[in-house]
Amino acid sequence: MDIEQFRKASLKVIYFICEYLSNIATETVNADVNPNIKPGYLENLLPGEAPEDPEEWDNIMDDFVKKIMPGITHWQHPGFHAYFPSGNSFPSILADMLSNAIGCIGFSWQAAPACTELEIIVTDWLAKEVGLPNDFLSSSEGGGVIQTSTSECVLVCMLAARNQAIKTLKEQNQNLEDSAFVQKLVAYCSQEASSCVEKAAKLFLVKLRILDSDENGCLRGDTLKVAMEEDKAKGLTPFFVLAMLGSTYTCSFDDLEEIGQVCKEQQYCWLHVDAAYAGNALICPEFKHLLKGMEYVDSFNINPSEWLLVNFDCSCLWVRKRALLINALSINPLYLQHSNDNEATDYRHWGIPLSRRFRALKLWFVIRKYGIFGLRSHINNHIELAKYFETLVRKDARFEIVNDVTLGLVCFRLSNGCTASKELFQLINKSGKIFVTLAKTKNVHFIRFCVNSEDAKKESMDFSWKIIQELADHVVVSPAKQELINVLFTKNVLEKTRSL
């Protein structure tokens, strides 16, 4: 594909993007949010082997529209209320186009100076807006970095914590190998924490205690303290605590101050805050109180790719002492060394991958095009709509609200039980009109409904709620009829809902 072909092809792609994103924003009624397909649908549509000869661009684009698009779950659809948002905006798309064209790989300062320096600058910008203490800025001993995902933020911080803990333990027993201390290490999180902390613990073979949160889904200092005392009595060493600001299940908030004080009492214990979704709201002054206790925190992550309109991947991680992260991750072969090694940041030492995209560009474009003012408005709009949706739910006596609706997530259920709530969940997602997720805490099943799309409006809340109410009419029946419903009703309800 030469430049003239690209110029022509790109016009068609831009046209497609504009059509797609404008239609999806407005035509809730006509376009289903998720496709009505079964696993394996694409296998039947594509050849089993790669083409030997080059194909015409128009054929490829045509196949994309006819074969790929029908298999897309539309995360930017106003009826998409599952998970948390997947950030998306025009300035972000434009930045990625430029980043791709430049095609640089930012593993060291020398390999991509602007890419490295802009990452330092925009993570500093964001740290200040979020309200992190100065210790987390690059001008101090800390600093920020863009990781691929929350999972990696948590993984590398648990790694740095593990190494520090082993170092401390080794002072008392220098003859043992590092790995011999691993079985002594225990990490903590609440039952509301995201699954990535379990994955990290599984990877490092450290123990993980998943603690009860209080009635508000909040992990309290006392609970943590009791657990730690029990573990220390068994000869274990608490080394890592993950606290949530905005949990995955109900967007609840752990008590940083209480947790931090307990961590401080330990010989060595790293406190990481996962604020992947909710941390973005900290750019609004009214949420700064959530940062109480930050003086105890060692590392902190938010995902602008969730709620600041930046396309995935863009997970910002800040650490109080960058040297601990770098020591845990640096391998420095000659072919990657350069003459500015000592004075420049080499981000390959801050994460797992050696190679890195120019991701700071999209964060920079988005912050500048919206301004912090615009990003705050975006967040406030979602919060207002979530609170509005909450009032709708509360008006219908068949339902109950499960969480404290602070940000954009509303958790609700049918009052008459888990089975009914699960059935309602299935009906909703099979309808194709809106898309939600099912979750469970403290043995109670509920539906997570998150306000996601950039252009989210009151009307789409009304629309979603109307569908949920109608589907609920078919759920609230005697248990004896449940099986019959499963077999007979579902199909009709779905057909009816699909033709709404």
* CA nearest neighbour of 82 among 497, 474, 464: 464
Whose Cβ is closer to its own copies: residue 329's or residue 477's?
A: 329
Q: How many CB atoms sit inside 10 A of residue 289's CB?
A: 8
Which of 343, 397, 443, 478 is the binder for its own copies (CB under 8 A)?
343
CB of 180 to its own copies, least distance (A): 6
Q: Closest approach of Cβ 286 to its own copies, in Å?
A: 16
Helix (H/G/I), strand (E/B), else coil: 478: coil
- Whether 275 and 302 have beta carbons less than 8 Å apart is answered as yes
Interaction of residue 206 with its own copies, rule CB under 8 A: yes
Site for its own copies in 248-287 (CB under 8 A): 248-249
Closer of 174 and 373 to its own copies (Cβ): 373
Separation CA 434–CA 343 (nearest Å): 52
Give every strand in the sheet of 237-244, ordered side by side.
Answer: 143-147, 315-319, 299-302, 270-274, 237-244, 185-190, 207-211
> Whose Cβ is closer to its own copies: residue 114's or residue 485's?
114
The binding track of 411-450 with respect to its own copies, each residue x by CB under 8 A or -, is: ---------------x----------xxxx-------x--
In the shown chain, the binding pattern of residues 209 to 248 toward its own copies, with x for contact by CB under 8 A and - for none, equals ---------------------------------------x
Q: Which residue among 31, 32, 105, 268 contacts its own copies (CB under 8 A)?
A: 105
Q: With binding defined as CB under 8 A, does residue 457 bind its own copies?
A: no
Least distance from C-beta 266 to its own copies, angstroms? 20
Q: What is the per-residue DSSP string for 234-246? A: TT-EEEEEEEEBS
Instruction: Specify which residues 58 forms β-bridges with.
Output: none
CB nearer its own copies, residue 150 or residue 403: 150
State the Cα–Cα distance between residues 393 and 474, nearest whole angstrom.
17
What residues numbered 463-492 form the site for its own copies, per CB under 8 A?
Answer: none
Site for its own copies in 127-146 (CB under 8 A): 128-129
Output phi, psi for 402, to 5 deg. Answer: -100, -30
C-beta atoms surrounding 144 within 10 Å: 27
Residue 71 has a CB neighbour count (10 Å cut-off) of 12
Write the CA distances from 323 to 102, 109, 149, integer angstroms: 30, 17, 21
Stretch that binds its own copies, among 93-101, 288-296, 379-387, 458-466 (CB under 8 A): 93-101
As measured in angstroms, the least distance from the Cβ of 202 to its own copies is 7
Out of 58, 72, 476, 498, the only residue in the binding site for its own copies (CB under 8 A) is 72
Main-chain phi, psi angles of 448, to 5 degrees: -95, 125
Which lies closer to its own copies via its Cβ, residue 19 or residue 222? 19
Of the candidates 405, 381, 379, which has an alpha carbon nearest to the alpha carbon of residue 392?
Answer: 405
Q: Where are the alpha helices (DSSP H) in 103-220?
A: 113-130, 150-170, 196-204
Q: Is residue 323 near its own copies by the rule CB under 8 A?
A: no
Q: Which helix (H) or strand (E) holds 493?
A: helix 490-498
C-alpha distances out from residue 57 to 9, 286, 378, 442, Å: 7, 50, 37, 53
User: Site for its own copies (CB under 8 A): which residue of 28, 74, 209, 326?
Assistant: 74
Residue 151 is a binding residue for its own copies (CB under 8 A): yes
One-letter identity of residue 116:
T
Rounded to an integer, what distance in angstroms lies between the CA atom of residue 222 and that of residue 452? 35
Give the pairing type, strands 143-147 and 315-319: antiparallel
# residues contacting its own copies (CB under 8 A) = 148
Report the site for its own copies in 346-375 (rule: CB under 8 A).
Answer: 352-355, 357, 361, 365, 367-374
Query: Does position 87 bind its own copies by CB under 8 A?
Result: yes
Smallest separation (angstroms) from its own copies to the CB of 395: 26
Closest to 290 measured CA to CA, from 303, 305, 301, 279: 279
Output 282 or 328, the one with its CB closest to its own copies. Answer: 328
Nearest to its own copies of 273, 367 (CB atom) = 367
Does residue 42 touch its own copies according to CB under 8 A? yes
Nearer to its own copies, 15 or 230 (CB): 15
Least Å distance, CB 265 to its own copies, is: 25
Closer CB to its own copies, residue 221 or residue 304?
304
Radius of gyration of the chain (CA): 25
Q: Phi and psi for 99 in degrees, rounded to 5?
A: -60, -40
Is 393 an interacting residue with respect to its own copies (CB under 8 A)?
A: no
CA 141 – CA 160 distance, rounded (Å): 15
| 27, 102, 323, 395: residue in contact with its own copies (rule CB under 8 A) | 102
The structure tokens listed for 437 are 């997720």
What is the C-alpha to C-alpha distance for residues 349 and 327, in angstroms, rounded to an integer?
A: 8
Between 198 and 214, whose beta carbon lies closer to its own copies? 198
- The pair of three-digit structure tokens given for residue 269, joined into one six-digit string: 């214990």
Site map for its own copies, 162-181, x if CB under 8 A?
---------------xxxx-
CB of 260 to its own copies, least distance (A): 26
Answer for which of 134, 183, 267, 380 binds its own copies (CB under 8 A) is 183
Between 223 and 250, name the residue whose CB sits nearer to its own copies.
250
Judged by beta carbon, residue 220 or residue 348, the one nearer its own copies is 348
